[in-house]
Amino acid sequence: MEVGTVQLGTSFASLRSAPANRNLTRRRASRRPRGPPSGSWGTAIATVAAERGLEVFLWSRNSNHLEEIENLKENKRYLPGVSIPNTIKLTNDLKTASKSDILACVIPSTGIRHFAEDISSIGLRKDSVILSCTKGIERSTGLRMTEIIEDNLPNNIAAVLSGPNHAEEVGKKLATAAVIGCKNTKIAKEIQSIFSLPWFRTYTSDDVAGIELGGAVKNIYAICAGISDGLGLGCLLYTSPSPETVL
């Protein structure tokens, strides 16, 4: 599978192999990713993909915002100080995602279902992979992000990218790490090949549920740990594997 296009945006983005890097592209899957929103994290992910010699499409519903990014070559609203390379193309046409090899969804968790429904309606290719870069659990159903995606796009493989990441640090190329979760280990390795740089290290796992739940509840655990420290109860309370101990 050679990756041809990746799409990212305020709601999704897309990356395509640049002509100067055709050999690099042939070693990857011929998938065209469409992905994250043109917010801070979507923009940061897009710059990572662009570093791999791929042409990236960054999508947003807000055409004025896209025009601002195009003029400044910078997402000044959400990721100031990070240059947007010319290999990242801007679009507000969601239909371009229908040709994606990889569609990266980087939108708030409250909007993931609506976005998945929109993607389903445009006729996405059955061999397209959908990469969730969103942390959270749907309040009304308790479903994880990839479960929502699979509900609406049952014929497509869903994967997740998650980690202790900050968009501004990724944009500045500071050392960071993330994990690619997918039940299909071959697909996970192919996505890893796109999102791997000297300063951006990715690992793979088939524990999709564990990755998503960890990303969604990490702050809750952190708050509990802080309360425990404040009460002088030590670290055993919040590191014990026993639910009774934690309670």
Q: How many CA atoms lie within 13 A of 193 on its CB side?
A: 19
Helices (H) and strands (E) in the chain, counts: 10, 11
> Catalytic residue at 99?
no
Rounded CA gap, 52 and 146, in Å?
Answer: 25
DSSP one-letter code for 151: H
Q: Note whether 202 and 196 are within 8 A (CB).
A: yes
Alpha helices in the chain (DSSP H): 22-26, 40-51, 63-72, 112-121, 145-152, 167-171, 185-194, 208-230, 236-239, 243-246
DSSP one-letter code for 35: -
Question: Helix %, strand %, coil % for the chain, to 5?
Answer: 40, 25, 35
Catalytic residue, candidates 73, 95, 126, 218? 218
Q: Note whether 105 and 36 are within 8 A (CB).
A: yes
Rounded CA gap, 47 and 45, in Å?
Answer: 5
Closest-CA residue to 56 (of 94, 93, 6, 18): 6
Query: How remote is the C-alpha of 18 from its chain's centroid?
Result: 21
Q: Could you give the residue numbers annotated as active site?
A: 218
